């Protein structure tokens, strides 16, 4: 069951499934006993692309920007202003901008790998990688809140809704705590992971399925190309989803941070 | 390598000796690598990218705001200068009006003075004329008197010098002369003083 390579070969159509995302069996190379898989390389490549782009854009920053600097400033400014400043507020946002920018473009490029020929795999369809970023987000927004309000003050801020009669507290406090502290990292990770996972699965299904149908002959000569047309359509949809998921992940981070910094609910 | 699988139901090995992986399973290596790579990227962005962009933004803002401030100060300067010039213009107008008024007054004064002088002069001339005429008349009267005396004596001499043959005619002449003289004396005495 070596998913990717074997999906469309043989007489029986092997539907793509979770195994299509399992690279442990096909490591690219071994590094001191550690099997280095394709998603791991993609992580590094993604980070490299993001840094090289921004470094080249910012290296000789001038008042009147050149083309590259303008592109870099627009990208940086989009996250800085529409995510950072608008949500966290102009008082505190600046110290979070590097984090938000890194987050957005790191996820965006790694998502975009799903549509780049030769790579064609969304890095964050590996759940563990999404867990890591979601866990980091959880640590950061809670740390920011605790630093500002103190541990108990922060717990009160996140758990005790203001403007509600204390009679309702037994019902609302556990609920608020659950939704603000426990559920957030889970939804954050699963949203990103599941979108990338499902999108990639669909693409494999339509691509390998189309190939299988054409090889099968008969009605497959009509259905196969049709499946490929659908695959192309889904590719475009995926481009949108890739951007959207990176944006949503960053946006929610900013909202959680702003919520942790808020003085009142 | 062995995965840490949280949510998998079973982990029976397949033909390849490789356990089917739960897609939700947690792979520590991958998670750790994600964090490390993300952390590295964050550090690089935080260290090399964000400060430069922020600096550029700040410089740009400052350049624009500086330009606006400079324009505002220029405008204020121009306004002040304009106000000053207008004030100067008003002052000049005021001064001109004042001078005109003064000149008019002076002119009127000069004319009045001149008129007075001319009047005095004319009066003086008239006085002078009168006294001169008087003097001339006096002179004429004295000279006339003398002439009349001479004439009278001349005439008298002539009359006396003639032969007194005709007594009757002689007395007539003298009579006539005397009456004429009397009449002349009477009129001249009446006209002069």
Lowest average pLDDT, out of A27-31, A212-216, A250-254, B110-114, goes to: A27-31
Closest C-alpha to A56, from A42, A80, A75, A43:
A75
Instruction: Tell me what pLDDT residue B7 has.
Output: 35
Residues in chain B with CB shorter than 8 Å from the CB of A31 are none
Selection from A194, A176, A204, A185 nearest residue A140 by Cα? A185
Q: Nearest residue of B to residue A193 by CA position?
A: B24
The residue in chain B having the minimum alpha-carbon distance to the alpha carbon of residue A48 is: B41
3-state SS class at A128:
helix
Q: Tell me the three-class secondary structure of A69-105, residue by residue.
A: HHHHHHHHHHHHHHHHHHHHCCCCHHHHHHHHHHHHH
Q: For A185-199, what is the mean pLDDT?
A: 95
Residues A209, A216 contacting (CB under 8 angstroms):
no
Confidence of residue B189 (pLDDT cuts 50, 70, 90): low
Task: Give the integer Cα–Cα distance in Å for A64 and B128.
Answer: 102
Q: Can you give the pLDDT at residue B10?
A: 36
pLDDT of residue B5: 37
Contacts of A72 (CB under 8 A, 6+ apart): A53, A54, A56, A57, A58, B49, B53
**DSSP secondary structure, B172-192, as one string:** HHHHHHHHHHHHHHHHHHHH-
- Please report which confidence band the pLDDT of residue B6 belongs to, taking 50, 70 and 90 as the band edges: very low
Q: Which of B52-56, B83-87, B114-118, B181-185 has the lowest mean pLDDT?
A: B181-185
As a whole number of angstroms, the distance between CA A176 and CA A171 comes to 9
Interface of A with B in 131-150 (CB under 8 A): 131-133, 135-136
Q: What is the mean pLDDT of residues A44-52?
A: 95
Residue B192 confidence (pLDDT) above 90:
no
Predicted TM-score of the model (pTM): 0.70
Per-residue model confidence as pLDDT tens digits over B49-71: 999 999 999 999 999 998 899 99
User: How near does any CA of chain A get to the CA of B68, in Å?
Assistant: 17
* Beta-bridge partner residues of B26: B4
Contact flag A102-B45 (C-beta cutoff 8 Å): yes
Neighbours of A214 (CB within 10 A): 16
Inter-residue contact B41 to A47 (CB < 8 Å): yes
- Confidence class of residue A2 from pLDDT cuts 50, 70 and 90? very low
Best CA proximity match to A158, nearest among A137, A138, A140, A179: A179
Q: Quote the tokens at residue B130.
A: 């009168």
By C-alpha distance, the chain B residue nearest A196 is B23
Can you tell me which residue has the tokens 């002539």?
B158
ipTM: 0.89
Query: What mean pLDDT comes out for the span B11-16?
Result: 39
């Amino acid at each position: 069951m070596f998913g990717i390579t074997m999906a469309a070969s043989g007489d029986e159509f092997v539907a793509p499934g979770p195994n299509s995302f399992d690279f442990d069996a096909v490591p690219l190379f071994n590094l001191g006993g550690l099997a280095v898989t394709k998603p791991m390389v993609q992580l590094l490549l993604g980070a490299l692309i993001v840094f090289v782009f921004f470094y080249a854009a910012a290296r000789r920053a001038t008042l009147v920007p050149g083309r590259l600097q303008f592109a870099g400033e627009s990208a940086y400014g989009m996250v800085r202003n529409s995510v950072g400043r608008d949500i966290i507020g102009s008082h505190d946002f600046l110290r979070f901008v590097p984090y938000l920018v890194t987050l957005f473009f790191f996820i965006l490029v790694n998502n975009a790998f799903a549509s780049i020929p030769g790579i064609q795999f969304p890095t964050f369809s590996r759940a563990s990688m999404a867990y890591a970023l979601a866990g980091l987000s959880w640590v950061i927004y809670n740390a920011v809140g605790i630093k500002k309000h103190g541990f108990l003050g922060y717990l009160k801020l996140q758990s005790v809704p203001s403007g509600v009669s204390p009679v309702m507290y037994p019902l609302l406090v556990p609920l608020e705590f659950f939704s603000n502290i426990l559920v957030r990292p889970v939804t954050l990770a699963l949203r990103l992971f599941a979108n990338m996972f499902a999108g990639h699965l669909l693409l494999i299904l339509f691509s390998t399925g189309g190939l299988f149908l054409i090889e099968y002959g008969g009605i497959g000569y009509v259905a196969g190309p049709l499946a490929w047309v659908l695959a192309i359509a889904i590719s475009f949809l995926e481009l949108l989803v890739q951007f959207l998921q990176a944006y949503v992940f960053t946006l929610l981070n900013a909202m959680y941070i702003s919520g942790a910094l808020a003085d009142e609910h | 390598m062995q995965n840490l699988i949280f949510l998998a139901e079973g982990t029976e090995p397949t033909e390849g000796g490789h356990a089917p992986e739960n897609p939700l399973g947690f792979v520590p290596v991958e998670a750790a690598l994600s964090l490390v790579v993300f952390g590295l990227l964050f550090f690089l962005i935080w260290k090399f990218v964000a400060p430069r962009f922020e600096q550029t933004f700040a410089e740009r803002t400052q350049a624009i705001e500086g330009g606006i401030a400079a324009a505002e100060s220029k405008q204020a300067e121009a306004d002040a200068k304009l106000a000053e010039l207008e004030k100067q213009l008003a002052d000049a107008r005021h001064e001109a009006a004042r001078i005109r008024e003064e000149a008019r007054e002076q002119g009127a004064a000069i004319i009045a003075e001149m008129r007075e002088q001319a009047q005095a002069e004319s009066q003086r001339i008239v006085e002078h004329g009168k006294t001169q005429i008087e003097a001339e008349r006096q002179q004429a009267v004295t000279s006339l008197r003398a002439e009349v005396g001479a004439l009278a004596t001349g005439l008298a001499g002539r009359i006396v010098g003639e032969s007194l043959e005709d007594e009757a005619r002689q007395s007539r002449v003298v009579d006539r002369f005397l009456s004429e003289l009397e009449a002349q004396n009477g009129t001249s005495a009446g006209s002069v003083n």
